[in-house]
Structures are given as C-alpha cells and as structure tokens.
Structure 1
Amino acid sequence: MKSAFLFIVSLLYITAGFSQKILAFYTAREDQAHISFVHEANRWFPATFSRYNWTYDSTSDWSKCNPDTLAKYNVILFLDTRPEAPAQRAAFQHYMEHGGAWMGFHFSAFALTPSAYNQDWDWYHNTFLGSGSYGSNTWRPTSAVLRVENKQHAIVHDLPDTFRSAPNEWYRWSNDLRKNRDITILLSIDPASFPLGTGPKPSEIWHSGYYPVAWTNRHYKMVYVNMGHNDIDYEHGTNKELSYTFSNPDQNRFIINSLFYLINSSRILP
C-alpha cells in the first residue's frame, strides 16, 4: 500500500512541469444525456488539466483519428462514441499497439447488432475492451456504490474501499470480464447498490449480479470507465440537466489517477 502511494506521488512530481497533450474525440449528436456529458467534460478537463500544465484539445472531426494527428498526443479520449471509418479504426489500433494511451467513457464501448453502432470491430470490442457487445442497462440514471477491486493497483490505491458514484446509466456486457486474463477490473457495482435503477421496465432494475464499471487491459495503456451519462429530464420535455458526472470527488480522483498512470506508463499496464 505504501509503495503504491509513493509511486503515485512520484508520478505527480515527474509529470508536473512537463506539458502533456490530451486529445478528446466526441460526436455529441443524439442522446441529450451524452451531449450533456460531452459539454461537461469539455469544461472540466481543461480547467483541471491547467493545474498540471497539460494541454487539452477536443474535436468532433473523427477524420483527425489518423496516424499524424494521434502521434502528437500522449493520451486519446473517446468521450461518447468510437471511430467508424476503416482508416480511422486502423490508425487507432496502430496507435495503441505502439505505445499510445487511451481512456474511454460510457457509450464509447457500446456495440449492439443491429443498431447504429453494430458490433463490427472485433479488435476493439473483444480484444482491446474485452467487453463484447452491450447486454442491458439500468434506468433511470442513479448513483451506485462502487467497490474497488484491486486496491494494490496504483490507480485506485488512494480511493476508499467503496464510494458512491455520480448518477449514471449502468451497462451490462455480453462477455464476463472476470474470465479474461488480460483484464484487470478496477471498480465494480457493490451489492449495497441493489436494487439499482428505478425502471419503469423490470429489466432496467438490477437486483443482483456482478457488474464491472472500470477496467484496464494489460496489453495496452488503456482505462475504460462506464460513467458518462448525465441524468436528463426527458419525462417533462425540458431536457434539463439533473446530474453531473464530474460532481463526485472520489470519481474525479479515479479519473485523474488513471490519466497520470497512463501518461507515465512507459510499459504495458500490469
């Protein structure tokens, strides 16, 4: 525990003073909850990164997911979707297979066939993320008690054993990540959260089960987090924002710890 703490502290000192470049891709066209998160992220990240002398750029132009652009950045973020064009997908895979770093949020892992986001990219969904296809979700967006799964991991060493998240729509996946030796699960839904969701559909309320919400893949410098869906007043047609993802200090600490770890990892994540 102490060695992990000293490791993160040393990373903070090493990284501080050195300009790091982060590029966030997003689409922000359809679901108002995802659009709300993207706008929130594009405010929160630059304000937070200024403390560390990091540069934050964001774009909805996915054609910039090309070798020349990706090579200029230390970390790539996917805020809500994924690249669709074959050349963009090939560029991202090459970037990751040659030491690039990535953090993805919520809908960036979504895949469902048939849908507007088919599961038609096996490397990304099965090899890289490991999660496979979307299975189901909770509704409404609700806060959950999250459990730290690998307390010895540098990303989560300074988090409490459990903490309450910001409200979110939680996803279930087709693949059991516990059976994937390449995956290190960092956070999962704690049983104290159940029942999770309010419906109205019974399937949108989880009463039991195991649900990972943040993990890494030891073959890549990557972190995926399921958070990234704000609560929106759809029912009354106002589209008013009812919650914010970056309102939660423990959750924010997890995100910042992840970015420091990715930036300073000169080797593949354990």
Structure 2
Amino acid sequence: MKCHLTTRRVILFCIISLFTATGIKGQASGPAFKVIAFFTARNDQAHISFVHEANKWFPEIAKQYHFTYDTTSNWHNLNEQFLSQYQVVLFLDTRPDDPAQRAAFKKYMENGGAWMGFHFAGFALTPSDFPQNWNWYHDTFIGAGSYVSNTWRPTAAILRVEDRQHPATKGLPETFKSSPNEWYRWSNDLRKNPDIDILLSIDASSFPLGTGPKQQEIWHSGYYPVVWTNKKYRMMYVNMGHNDIDYEHKTNKTLSFTFANEVQNKLIINSLLWLGGRK
C-alpha cells in the first residue's frame, strides 16, 4: 500500500511539473514581434488627426494579434541600438532629416529590418520644407521619386488589387472603396521599376476623383499606384493617411477616419503581420 501511494505521488508530481513548465514556456515566448512607430504630428491638422487615430487603433490590433506597439516622436531614437529592439518600424507621417538618422534607418533596412510608411512619409518636393534630398529613400527604397500633385478634397476611391498573390492582399475583394484620402501623384512611373510590386491602384471607376475647387485637384484619368512594396526590402508604402478636416469653418474637426474601413484595415493588418514574419 505504501509503495502504491508513493507511485501516485510521483505521477502527480510529474503532471504538475509538466503543466508548470508549459506555462513558463508560454510566458517566456513573449510577443510575436515588436513595432515602433515614429511620428512628428505637427503643422497639418489632417496628418495630426491620422497620427492620433493610428496611435489608438494600432494598440488594439496589437492586443488582438499578440505583438507590441510602441511610439516615439523623438527621431533621435532612430539609431542602431534603439532599432535593434524592434522587428518593424512605422513612419506615420514624416521621415528623418538628420544624416545620422537616415544612415541608421538605411542600415536597419539593408540588414533585414521591416518598414511600413503612410502617406506623408513618402512626400518630397523641392523646394519645400521636405525637399527631395535623400535619393536612396525616395528613388531607390520607395521608388516614387518626388511628389507632383494631389487630389482635393480628401475623397474615397475605388481601389483595385493588382497583385492577388501577395500576403498583404489575402482575402481582399478585387475592388473595394477606400476611406477618404488625399491621393498623391509621383514623378516616377513605378510600373517601369522591376523592383516594385504594385499591390493596389486607383480603379478607373473612381474618376473623376476629387472635388477641387482647382481643376488640377480633380483627376479624370491616369494610372495611380497607392500601395506597393520593394522586392529588395521588407517594406510597404501605403498612400492612405490623410483624414478629412473641417478647414472651411475653422473648427479643425475630423470629418473622416482612415481606420473606419473594414476592408482597408484588413490590408493594413495583413501587411503588418507579413512584415512581422507572421502568417
């Protein structure tokens, strides 16, 4: 009888140990990946509104998909030591101007880092406060070159999925209606760049796109990529990221939200999970 009880205790001890070890292993595994979002959130109220919206939306998505989401408006953090803590970098509105920060970001990307940039993160216009003085970033990395023009007012567009095989577009319909946005036109034709994989473009059914009042702010035809990746890097550029704002009545009230669109959100979530190495 004593021997029998001892055997039962040994078995019970083994079972408890197994569950304890499993629990410790699960806790030690931590988040699937870590994201750091850089932002400036100055000057343009539409971009400020988007940044505030993004910094509320992404933490909710991070909880749901088990990754971490941190933010910083201190661009001095764009250095090798700080970036080594993160698997994915987001630029929510602007880009770095300091040569050391630019060099650190380039090294990060060339050594396997991942990046997603929204809307104004791709902007460059000479002369302006954001001149095209970073050839690697605008011509090689993003590939679009300089900003040329945009639609106005911020308007929803019908977007067409160009590459249905990419993980970012999985489960998306052939076409869908976006959130309102200010759409950019670029100096470079991305279709001529073999490194660029265009994932989404503006469908012809969107035209005329924009309401003006200036005629050049209304597009009637043309080909306009809005989401793409560079096959030499783990990156994604998303032209969305400009909320509609009540400038006319000087209330600066947000009239539209980028993340109030289920299909568009699926694209961004898919893209982020792909960048983070998740299926």
TM-score normalised according to structure 1 size: 0.91
What is the rounded CA distance, in whole Å, between the counterparts of 2:30 and 2:112 in structure 1?
22
Q: Does 1:154 align with 2:167?
A: yes
Q: 1:229 aligns with which of 242, 250, 260?
A: 242
Q: 2:233 aligns with which of 220, 226, 238?
A: 220
Aligned-pair CA distance for 1:18:
3.9
Partner in structure 1 of residue 189 of structure 2:
176
Q: 1:77 aligns with which of 77, 87, 90?
A: 90
Give the structure with higher Rg (CA): 2
Aligned-pair CA distance for 1:103:
0.2
Matching residue's letter, 1:64: N
Equivalences, count: 250
What is the rounded CA distance, in whole Å, between the counterparts of 1:259 and 1:47 in structure 2?
14
What is the rounded CA distance, in whole Å, between the counterparts of 2:158 and 2:30 in structure 1?
35
Q: 1:19 aligns with which of 32, 40, 47?
A: 32
What is the rounded CA distance, in whole Å, between the counterparts of 1:27 and 1:263 in structure 2?
23
Q: 2:116 aligns with which of 85, 88, 103?
A: 103
Matching residue's letter, 2:124: A
Q: Structure 2: which 5+ runs fail to align? A: 1-28
Q: Structure 1: which 5+ runs fail to align? A: 1-15, 266-270
Partner in structure 2 of residue 126 of structure 1:
139
TM-score normalised according to structure 2 size: 0.88
Q: Does 1:39 align with 2:47?
A: no
What is the rounded CA distance, in whole Å, between the counterparts of 1:51 and 1:139 in structure 2?
35
Q: Does 1:90 align with 2:103?
A: yes
Structure 1: which 4+ aligned runs deviate by more than 2 Å? 16-19
Partner in structure 1 of residue 7 of structure 2:
none
Q: Does 1:144 align with 2:157?
A: yes
What is the rounded CA distance, in whole Å, between the counterparts of 1:242 and 1:262 in structure 2?
31
Partner in structure 1 of residue 18 of structure 2:
none
Contact 2:31 2:68 in 1 (8 A): no
SS at match of 1:257: helix
